[in-house]
Chains A and B, each alone.
Chain A
Amino acid sequence: MEQQAFLERAIEQYGKATYNFAYRLTGNDADASDLTQEAFIRVFRAWQSFKPGTSFLSWIYRIVTNLHRDELRRRKGRFYQEEIPERAVAPIEDYVEAHLSEPVSKALAGLTPEQRKIVLLADVEGCSYQEIGQIVGCSVGTVRSRLHRARGQLRKLVNSNMKSSSS
């Protein structure tokens, strides 16, 4: 069946990226899995509305951000944030990476969910401002102003985290 094949291909090609994006938004496995599952069900139901030639990733990221926003409203607060896990048998590069990025990870956790979303899309996912606008549902001008505000906040948090970790 065409619809089923569409879902299979979407999971195979974009499952990992979607799950990782959901994980970075929510900060824990259980909520990331729920968000990913719900996003793919929406994709399955609305598969005919996807326009070939457009970015599937932008589409599913948009679904994930909308679901995340709705869930935040429902919970009237925040998702539970896990620390970066130390894997049982972590390669040394992963360990070094994790510890180098720790001040940033803490700083990200200090941003509002909206600010974190924009920063993640711009700097971790490497989306263009236009793509971010499509995902978040706002103009490029709004993306610029939100991003600059978020980065200003992030800069302060990174600096204070670095000072506190070095002292």
Chain B
Amino acid sequence: MNDTHPSIEHIVEFLHGELSPAEDAAIHAHLGGCSECERKRSEELAIIEALRRYGNATAREMPAWLPSKIRTAAAQSRPGAWQRLVAGFRPMVMIPAAAAVGLAVYIGYHNWHHATAPTPINAAYYVNNHAAMAASAPFGDAAPPLTLTSDDAPR
């Protein structure tokens, strides 16, 4: 709305009751003193009334056969057991389910793979190597106690 006259859009919104209370009051006050805007309002109101008359003139009852046809079609549209089952395979269900199965398979395989027997160690190599080190530096840190007792066993 400009300073002097409301736009035709504002007059239509005034007639539809879509303006804020302040705008509504301002247009109402303006229309009382402006014959030009009042003429526009009357024209717009005439169109609205003609549209309502058109609505009344074309109003008709629903055909009598239609409700029973709707009931029959609705009963036929009810999904059967197989369709309900298939409906369960829609992407919204299947994508998270597939992701969960994939994750379970990965974790299961990973655990199984690491739970298998450890790689055998060539113990003879370590014993020989250790014996050689102990012989070259008998009092070094790397040298084991000469005898093992039950106190040395890990607790």
- Do A36 and B62 touch across chains, with their CB atoms under 8 A apart? yes
Partner of B12, one of A29, A40, A101, A151: A151
Residues of A within 8 A of B17 (CB): 128
Tell me whether B137 is interfacial, beta carbon within 8 Å.
no
Residues of B within 8 A of A144 (CB): 9, 13, 18
Partner of A104, one of B8, B13, B51, B60: B51
A-B pairs with beta carbons under 8 Å apart, 30 shown: A7-B71, A15-B66, A16-B62, A19-B60, A19-B66, A20-B60, A23-B58, A24-B58, A29-B63, A33-B63, A33-B66, A33-B69, A36-B66, A37-B73, A84-B58, A97-B53, A98-B57, A101-B51, A101-B57, A104-B50, A105-B54, A119-B51, A123-B47, A124-B51, A125-B55, A129-B16, A147-B12, A148-B9, A148-B12, A158-B50
Q: How far is the CB of B78 from chain A (nearest CB, A)?
A: 8
Given contacts A7-B71, A97-B57, contact A15 B51 (CB under 8 A): no
A-B pair count, CB < 8 Å, reads 103
Question: Which A residues fall within an 8 A CB radius of B?
Answer: 7, 11, 15-16, 18-20, 23-24, 29, 33, 36-37, 40-41, 44-45, 84, 94, 97-98, 100-101, 103-105, 108, 119-120, 122-125, 128-129, 144, 147-148, 151, 154-155, 158
- Do A94 and B57 touch across chains, with their CB atoms under 8 A apart? yes
Residues of A within 8 A of B152 (CB): none
**Bound-complex Cα distance A101 to B50 (A):** 6
Q: How far is the CB of B105 from chain A (nearest CB, A)?
A: 36
Q: How far is the CB of B10 from chain A (nearest CB, A)?
A: 10
Q: How far is the CB of A5 from chain B (nearest CB, A)?
A: 12
Residues of A within 8 A of B56 (CB): 97
Given contacts A36-B66, A122-B16, A144-B9, contact A100 B60 (CB under 8 A): no
- Say what secondary structure dominates the interface of chain B: helix
**Bound-complex Cα distance A72 to B71 (A):** 26
Residues of A within 8 A of B2 (CB): none
Residues of A within 8 A of B70 (CB): 7, 11, 36-37, 40-41
**Bound-complex Cα distance A41 to B72 (A):** 10
Give the nearest-CB partner of A140 in chain B.
B18
- Do B67 and A15 touch across chains, with their CB atoms under 8 A apart? yes
Q: How far is the CB of A123 from chain B (nearest CB, A)?
A: 4
- Do B53 and A101 touch across chains, with their CB atoms under 8 A apart? yes
Residues of B within 8 A of A119 (CB): 51
- Do A20 and B48 touch across chains, with their CB atoms under 8 A apart? no
Q: How far is the CB of A32 from chain B (nearest CB, A)?
A: 9
**Bound-complex Cα distance A71 to B57 (A):** 26
- Do B58 and A40 touch across chains, with their CB atoms under 8 A apart? no
- Do B77 and A41 touch across chains, with their CB atoms under 8 A apart? yes
- Do A158 and B47 touch across chains, with their CB atoms under 8 A apart? yes
Q: How far is the CB of A46 from chain B (nearest CB, A)?
A: 11
